[in-house]
Amino acid sequence: MEKKRTTIVLFSGDYDKAMAAYIIANGAAAYDHEVTIFHTFWGINALRKQEPVTVKKGFLEKMFAKMMPRGAEKLGLSKMQMLGMGPKMIKHVMNKHNALTLTQLVEMAQEQDIKLVTCTMTMDLLGLQKEELLDGIEYAGVAAYLADAEDGNVNLFI
């Protein structure tokens, strides 16, 4: 029997939305789906390394890099941002309930062989370089996304 397939476009750079994407993805992998998360636009920020990486960049690219959150734990919330207090409250509550952080969910995804793909067009536009992202990420365009998605059972845009 062929494996079921789940393919998620992660467009959003919000902590809560990225969490939802990774919870569904990890769940699907646990139920033996082949899973791909295609990170595009702000969704790429979830894969940035937390420490600064020295790469050569133009002015605008430097500005983007500075303004965008560096890594999973720096993302904000889609709701109840509340001057930065929201993410702290949520993380406090998550910790209390032993829920996994986004960083841990990304690690689990890599352990479960979920295919983490980054959109090359967005990398170009935002001036991001491979050295700035986590290791083990694949790089591809919309054609590769569609090839995975068109045979999919669960396709989501988050």
Give contact residues for its own copies (rule: CB under 8 A).
4, 6, 9, 11-13, 16-17, 20, 23-24, 27-28, 31, 33, 40-42, 60, 63-64, 67-68, 78-80, 82, 89-90, 92-94, 97, 99, 121, 124-127, 142-143, 145-146, 149-158
C-alpha distances out from residue 93 to 67, 87, 97, 108, 155, Å: 27, 10, 6, 21, 30
Nearer to its own copies, 135 or 150 (CB): 150
115-119: strand order across its sheet: 138-140, 115-119, 34-39, 5-10, 154-157
Whichever of 116 and 149 has its CB closer to its own copies, that residue is 149
**How far is it, in rounded angstroms, from Cα 90 to Cα 80?**
10
**Smallest distance from its own copies to CB 110, Å:** 19
Number of neighbouring beta carbons within 10 Å of residue 86? 17
> Between residues 54 and 97, which has the closer beta carbon with respect to its own copies?
97
